[in-house]
Structure 1
């Protein structure tokens, strides 16, 4: 057997060489001719895929006015520009992927139809042949899905010349995507190929799509039904697309594979467990809050509107406590090699439909913001020496060495989560243990943050407040009075540290306009005698 060391390794040089060779092949006239030998589109689309999800009419109006806002960046122009200078990949992907079509459909009317056709025609004028960005597999897949999903709204009543040009391009794009199906977002690739196969009457693409889908589920969905990213919003989006594929399979008159049905059921159960009382999602691992109505609709489509949320997601790494009208969602998961967000043992709290304690969220508008919102300090948890609980990428301490342990108890109307992580152990000799107890019918949350290890190590316990919460320090600085948007009163008290109110930010999603200003309760302390306990209460008044 040949020694592996004698074989060329997948270094940056070989990757760049491979990418360069790939671009030469795709730019060649022969490749363009090969894509041109696609099936006839005279009878297409044979089947139009369903799209039950509503867009944002306000954003649709903005698009008609020439304002394109994606991933925190906006561009305004009467004449559309597909590659404006200085715009990041998220904006470009959304633009070339035609994410705006659902919003234009929500806005409705002749102006929306004309603008959608204008965008498609202009794209065809500039990108009808392979292009390194616009024909990238992940972007191509999104564009195929959005063009076909919007066909009835924008294209069915268009002129013959426009429809033929669009469908001919779709046929070429589907063929291109099929050749590069192992690259990019596999879920969207599977969805695009199945939609394309139905529309063009090409069964081979449908078969390929189901093979890709099965492999992607095996790779991305954990054994308890959670998404491997551990981001609630990404979990929601995956399930939403899975349900779209299931609906398309039904529409095509085919039997839904057992693996798809089984996965959708497990994912729906997890989704219920990651929701707050307002119906939206917790802000963890870069995911946004999403809307309660969208979550309701996804669960209804999954046939899982009823059922109680799970108390513990052992593999996905979340625990949930609910009593009365109070809900706690806590991150108790072990970090993975893919994890960027450093909110170990962070929690969020909602009371009724009011969010009280939150994490700061995520925003894609600027890399510096992305880095700041991924930090431990941007989560409602403990920060040691103002550093992240996860080492920086490329550090000598691998993430797999960080241990997280948890004990969960529910007894006599009291819920308890007792979790510990050692993300600070190798750098500072410190471990963090958090014990939270929810009792008195949800009217009292008692917490202890126990820091053990090196004497003199400083730490901060942060409780980020939702922007709708008004906060004031009372009782000569011994208490913080909190008033929610609906007028509920809560009181924060603490022993074991010095605390006060500080500025914070809140971004409910990566695509938000800008993060909003809010406040946080910050408790500062040091370790003495190798252990310090910060004992705190959030009690309803």
Structure 2
């Protein structure tokens, strides 16, 4: 997008005609500093005239905000202006401002004079977070008409949030809306009078979307990462305005970061839960380094539900909670009692994952299949999901209660968890016991099916305990068919053994941090279980 475009858009007479004249000039009283470094590759693409997100691309010289709309991940990303962070990582303020102001000018023409879908509270919340943090990129123009139009629209957006933030969907969207309201109060001239109300709204939205341990009720690590980002930008606005953040907000932000750390694997990327994937480890590291907070990983999470066991470089994360409620997660998964494991930076056992909240070329049928119990590293009874996935994509009945017992001693960390997802259909409780030795060399496990309730299996039901392997992990079955040697370039070999069943190696796939499928393998322990139940023991042991 050339400088000529900026000249045509950012003319004082044009914007004065569009937005009117004679308004009191506004100004920002504080400009927050975003310490999170953006994605330089995406910034380079912006400078080259391309907006990239997942598998979708938009040519910036053809961008028309009225046509872009707000439907879908790509449109919402463009509308939010969060890409300003990537632009800033790629170029100087002077060069970046020419592009940013041209796009902001087009946004003002399409949406600045009327309230439409682009004024959705969650979009305005995110827009305020990034317009204020990157004000030098969108307010460098010497054209008073353009500057006045943008600042007055920003103030109008902040007032819009005061009245409509609670209309955003519950969860991260509503938190984002109120976060924008708080930042608007802190940074816009005359906004401090609204700060108390905005703070109350933000804390109310957080308490309605977070468990007490800091994790979001959506149970999505990718959303948790965005939550930490939002709260980091809010804290930056307090510091820029020379105001002290409320203690309750500081505690909430620290808890959110601890929950995020709790689902991070040894390669500094996320474990794959609730339709998400590892994401970009560099982006996660930049966010953690730049958010201005420090916290230790949450190990025993009751609400958030992800339990973490770690010892000398070996990390295990277990889903020990029911799936999220439908109102908090449209794409929840039947993953209860699944696990992931890494040895140093090498992932060993994974879940298949999913595309997350980005555009994808994956077939919808595959995206839905990735939500099933079989796509996760846990036990599947009679090829049935532990929580039903209904034809419309919503979650049905299944896991309602998860029991947890955890202990630590000088030898190992132990976790015993159980779920009732198979009680109604089969009269069986699934129990999973795991222990990780304190030297990090051995993960022992036992899956038990225990009779519960009146319903009984008439004869027998097949089961499969699946351990999906990370890309690059090769599996060689031992001669007795009861074990396998797992080799990878990033870790010493691991030996897998099972007792009470037979082992098979089958094809699988893994959705990587770019949302793309990667072929891989899975260990499948297979057998049959009777109505009285039974148990299957297994073990991963590092050879050195």
* Corresponding residue for residue 205 of structure 2: 216
Tell me whether 385-394 or 209-218 shows the greater mean CA deviation.
385-394
CA offset at residue 540 of structure 1? 0.9
Q: What is the SS of the residue equivalent to 2:117?
A: coil
Aligned equivalents of 2:305, 2:201: Cα separation in 1: 27
CA offset at residue 274 of structure 1? 2.7
1:462 is matched with which residue: 450, 462, 466?
A: 466
1:390 matched to 2:387? yes
| Superimposed CA distance per residue, residues 280-334 of structure 1 (whole angstroms, 9 cap, x where no aligned partner) | 3322223443555655565566776465x44312232222222222111111113
Q: Structure 1: which 5+ residue stretches go unaligned? A: 1-34
* Corresponding residue for residue 134 of structure 1: 118
| Superimposed CA distance per residue, residues 38-61 of structure 1 (whole angstroms, 9 cap, x where no aligned partner) | 995624122212211111111122
User: How do 1:304-323 and structure 2 match up within 5 A?
Assistant: 305=294, 307=296, 309-323=297-311
1:289 matched to 2:278? yes
> CA, structure 1 residues 418+302, in 2 after alignment: closer, same or farther (shift >3 Å)?
same
1:406 is matched with which residue: 382, 404, 407?
A: 404
* Corresponding residue for residue 167 of structure 2: 183
Aligned equivalents of 2:19, 2:139: Cα separation in 1: 22
* Corresponding residue for residue 5 of structure 2: none
Aligned equivalents of 1:101, 1:341: Cα separation in 2: 33
Aligned equivalents of 1:396, 1:107: Cα separation in 2: 40
* TM-score between the two structures when normalised by the length of structure 1: 0.84
| Superimposed CA distance per residue, residues 4-46 of structure 1 (whole angstroms, 9 cap, x where no aligned partner) | xxxxxxxxxxxxxxxxxxxxxxxxxxxxxxx989995624122
8 Å CA contact 2:187, 2:241 repeated in 1: no
User: How do 1:135-534 and structure 2 match up within 5 A?
Assistant: 135-157=119-141, 159-184=143-168, 185-201=173-189, 202-290=191-279, 305=294, 307=296, 309-338=297-326, 340-363=332-355, 364=358, 365=360, 367-392=364-389, 399=397, 402-439=400-437, 441-453=439-451, 454=457, 455-475=459-479, 477-509=481-513, 512-528=514-530, 530-534=532-536
Aligned equivalents of 1:39, 1:182: Cα separation in 2: 33
> CA, structure 1 residues 328+203, in 2 after alignment: closer, same or farther (shift >3 Å)?
same
8 Å CA contact 1:343, 1:376 repeated in 2: yes
CA offset at residue 192 of structure 1? 1.5
Aligned equivalents of 1:87, 1:462: Cα separation in 2: 39
Aligned equivalents of 1:476, 1:284: Cα separation in 2: 34
Tell me whether 262-271 or 419-428 shows the greater mean CA deviation.
262-271
Q: Structure 2: which 5+ residue stretches go unaligned? A: 1-17, 452-456
1:93 matched to 2:91? no
8 Å CA contact 1:193, 1:208 repeated in 2: no
Q: What is the SS of the residue equivalent to 2:506?
A: strand
8 Å CA contact 2:35, 2:291 repeated in 1: no
* Corresponding residue for residue 70 of structure 1: 53
> CA, structure 1 residues 38+277, in 2 after alignment: closer, same or farther (shift >3 Å)?
farther
8 Å CA contact 1:417, 1:436 repeated in 2: yes
Aligned equivalents of 2:302, 2:21: Cα separation in 1: 48
Aligned equivalents of 1:153, 1:529: Cα separation in 2: 67
8 Å CA contact 2:104, 2:138 repeated in 1: no
Q: What is the SS of the residue equivalent to 1:534?
A: strand
* Corresponding residue for residue 107 of structure 2: 123
> CA, structure 1 residues 227+440, in 2 after alignment: closer, same or farther (shift >3 Å)?
closer
8 Å CA contact 2:482, 2:499 repeated in 1: no
* Corresponding residue for residue 104 of structure 1: 87
CA offset at residue 85 of structure 1? 8.4
Tell me whether 268-277 or 383-392 shows the greater mean CA deviation.
268-277
Aligned equivalents of 2:82, 2:471: Cα separation in 1: 29
> CA, structure 1 residues 174+440, in 2 after alignment: closer, same or farther (shift >3 Å)?
closer
8 Å CA contact 1:360, 1:378 repeated in 2: yes
Aligned length: 504
8 Å CA contact 2:483, 2:497 repeated in 1: yes
8 Å CA contact 1:504, 1:518 repeated in 2: yes
Aligned equivalents of 2:154, 2:181: Cα separation in 1: 11
Aligned equivalents of 2:20, 2:142: Cα separation in 1: 25
CA offset at residue 122 of structure 1? 1.6
CA offset at residue 416 of structure 1? 1.6
CA offset at residue 149 of structure 1? 1.9
CA offset at residue 489 of structure 1? 1.0
Aligned equivalents of 2:437, 2:133: Cα separation in 1: 48
8 Å CA contact 2:386, 2:422 repeated in 1: yes
* Corresponding residue for residue 51 of structure 1: 34
Q: RMSD of aligned C-alpha atoms?
A: 3.1
